[in-house]
Amino acid sequence: MSADPLNRLVQELAKLPGIGERTAARLAFHILRAPASYAQQLAAAITELKARLSECEVCCMLTEGQRCRVCREPRRDATLVMVVATPQDVLAIERTASYSGTYHVLHGLLSPLDGVGPDALRIRALLARCGGGAEASPRPREVILATSPSVEGDATALYLGRLLRPLGVRTTRIASGVPIGGEIEFADGVTLHRAIEDRRELT
């Protein structure tokens, strides 16, 4: 069975996050029915993705050159750094057009049960930036910890906070609570607790 090209493709597609065996089979049959040029273009795009993308020398975001688009933009505030878990988080925040600083991508969150420790993340690069040891960028005046409000996200934020505090860099955490348009009666206890704890004065 493993020598069957169709089964091999299904097995490889099923390894993608959020793709089960049935969805993988549908995708495989779609590729099979498509013109040969489509399969070639798809294969070339995947190969090019792996060959041309690397991590930004400053923030560890994915980029084709040494520095990503955000780090190259002179109008961005390089002394304001938002720490996120994944490149997808950067894209989501950029879509809001409400943040003018730079980023630092960890490429994951601390998760000891899954074998993800500090050495697996881009924490050393962050400390180098904040300690003034990174020649590629100015020393940050504030680091915003924008990890998700989950067990792993909170643990990562607490860990980074302890490391950054001795460096004299202002460290903040994004607020979390009841979403816009959400109903309080349907919110869980943890969300309500955070909304109350993160309250602020009306201006």
- Categorize the per-residue pLDDT at 203 as very low, low, confident or very high, splitting at 50, 70 and 90: low
What pLDDT score was predicted for residue 157? 93
Say which residue, 181 or 141, is predicted with more confidence. 141
Cα–Cα distance for residue pair 113/116, rounded to 1 Å: 7
Q: List pLDDT tens digits, range 113-169.
A: 888 999 999 999 999 999 866 555 688 999 999 998 888 999 999 999 999 999 989
Closest CA to 142 of 151, 133, 129: 129
What pLDDT score was predicted for residue 133? 61
User: What is the pTM (predicted TM-score) of this model?
Assistant: 0.81
What pLDDT score was predicted for residue 146? 93
Cα–Cα distance for residue pair 25/117, rounded to 1 Å: 35
170-173 and 142-145 beta bridge pairing: parallel
- Categorize the per-residue pLDDT at 24 as very low, low, confident or very high, splitting at 50, 70 and 90: very high
What pLDDT score was predicted for residue 3? 52
Cα–Cα distance for residue pair 12/87, rounded to 1 Å: 23
Closest CA to 59 of 69, 49, 50: 69
Cα–Cα distance for residue pair 88/110, rounded to 1 Å: 17
Q: Which domains does the chain have, with CATH numbers?
A: 5-52 (1.10.8.420), 76-173 (3.40.1360.10)
